[in-house]
Amino acid sequence: MKIYNTLSKRKEEFIPLEEGKVRMYVCGPTVYNLIHIGNARPMIVFDTVRRYMEYKGYEVNYVSNFTDVDDKIIAKANEEGVTAEEISKRYIAECKKDMAAMNVKPATTHPLATEEIGGMVEMIQTLIDKGYAYPVADGTVYFRVKKFPEYGKLSHKNLEDLQSGFRALQVSGEDQKEDPLDFVLWKPKKEGEPAWPSPWCEGRPGWHIECSEMSKKYLGEEIDIHAGGEDLIFPHHENEIAQSECCNGKQFARYWMHNAFLNIDNKKMSKSLGNFFTVREIGEQYDLQVLRFFMLNAHYRSPLNFSRDLMEASKNSLERICNGAQRLKFLEKNASDAEMTASEKESLQEARKLYIGKFEEAMDDDFNTADAIAAVFELVKYANTQVTESSSREYVQGVYGILKELCDVLGLIIEKEEELLDEDVENLIAERQAARKAKNFARADKIRDQLSDMGIILEDTREGVKWKRA
């Protein structure tokens, strides 16, 4: 399995720190509003990476935080006249609903920044003791960037060119810095803001130290994979490396993975352009499985363009897979209990080898989900042509099993819950079948129209009548 490592700018063979185990940290959202579709991309992408790792037999310790203390959260709380805690709790709950709807598995641990302040204070103190950080008169603590010679190794930036790239932080006493490049580890409280005690002043941590501490606590000083959106490479991930490696004296993360940006109709998503969409808004128009499929239909390192046309195309493509799966379930229900024939056994063995082989080859090459989906479509085509009403139940189950296994890795749900039709609807379908048999096509068509008005769409197939809700 090869992973593109942002640190080395090349694909590298994945070798875990501990055999059979993967320690993975993914930066989560800042919870001050409903998550947007830009937030959804890393959630879906790295959930799929995790699923594939588990499919390959690894035990994955997957940690993804919620940033629940931040200027934006405080601003939202002041706007509504409630506490910052109330805002963060509300939007963590909403975020978890959206994640479930996208079939994103809960992390092994979802740490909250506010619950880990003590560990952050200890980490900052260690950095001060080692000479990598310094407090100033107002209680702000800064990290000495130039004290870490490898600073810039992730973003591949020169120290001299870095100042312009730093995230703007609303911190008093900027003139107290030893060097303009130094960044904040701890900052003093402002009126009306949540704050915690520390040896330097009452205040709160800087953004970067939060992830360093949470990663260390739940995964250890060294981890296998650190992931997030490419907007986090600098300064966030760069600063994490500096803090963690100076504090612990070890390489922080072996592999750094970053997904590319999501654009809307070829433009950067922004509220001012009116092209800002939350996951919840998309969920009102599409099953969020469609959003997941759309996200996985491109390589995670490629920029992705969101549009209604592309979502409609994704909806239709996903439907093809689901229809193929439903057809197999229908055939299974009506198949004979006879043992698989020799040719069925051979065919199933070849299918397993061919389609699983293609799927794994794609995923082993830096998680190429687009090619993995292509392998799934090939399997559906095979199922539609090779599995018939005369196939044995065991053979049908075998083909369905391959399809479900591969779709599970992608987080695509193909098993639809059996819907119970109202007795009236069942009677109408039976009456229509009888009318067709009696060549009373006018009555059969009238019943079809009646069912259509009830939101039931019929499909006459070789295997019998199928139905779905409109």
Centre a 10 Å sphere on the Cβ of residue 239 and count the other Cβ atoms it contains: 26
Cα(304)–Cα(40) distance, integer angstroms: 12
Q: How far apart are CA 141 and CA 121, in angstroms?
A: 11
CA atoms of 263 and 41, how far apart (whole Å): 11
Per DSSP bridges, beta strands 133-135 and 141-143 are: antiparallel
Architecture of 2-259 per CATH?
3-Layer(aba) Sandwich (3.40)
CA 415 from centroid of its chain's CA atoms: 21
Exposure of 55 by Cβ count < 10 A (0-12 exposed, 13-18 middle, 19+ buried)?
middle
Residue-range domain boundaries for the chain: 2-259, 307-410, 423-469
Note the pLDDT of residue 101: 96
Residue 108: DSSP 8-state: S
DSSP assignment of 234-286, as one string?
IIIIHHHHHHHHHHHSS--EEEEEEEPPEEETTEE--TTTT---BHHHHHTTS
Say how far residue 333 (Cα) sits from the centre of its chain: 34
Given this model, what pLDDT does residue 174 score? 66
Rounded-to-integer distance, Cα 218 and Cα 106, Å: 15
For the chain, which residues score pLDDT lower than 50? 165-172
Predicted pLDDT at 170: 37
* DSSP state letter for 202: S
CA distance 22 to 223: 8
CA distance 366 to 14: 10
pLDDT confidence of residue 420? 52
Residue 220 φ/ψ region, left for φ over 0, alpha for ψ in the -120 to 50 degree band, beta for the rest:
left
CATH number of 307-410: 1.20.120.640
Nearest in space to 300 (alpha carbons), one of 228, 379, 406: 228
The long-range contacts involving 332-335, CB below 8 angstroms and separated by at least 24 positions, are 332/393, 332/396, 332/397, 332/400, 334/389, 334/463, 334/464, 335/389, 335/391, 335/392, 335/393, 335/395, 335/396
pLDDT, residue 239, reads 97
What is the reported pTM?
Answer: 0.88
Pairing of strands 262-264, 304-306: parallel
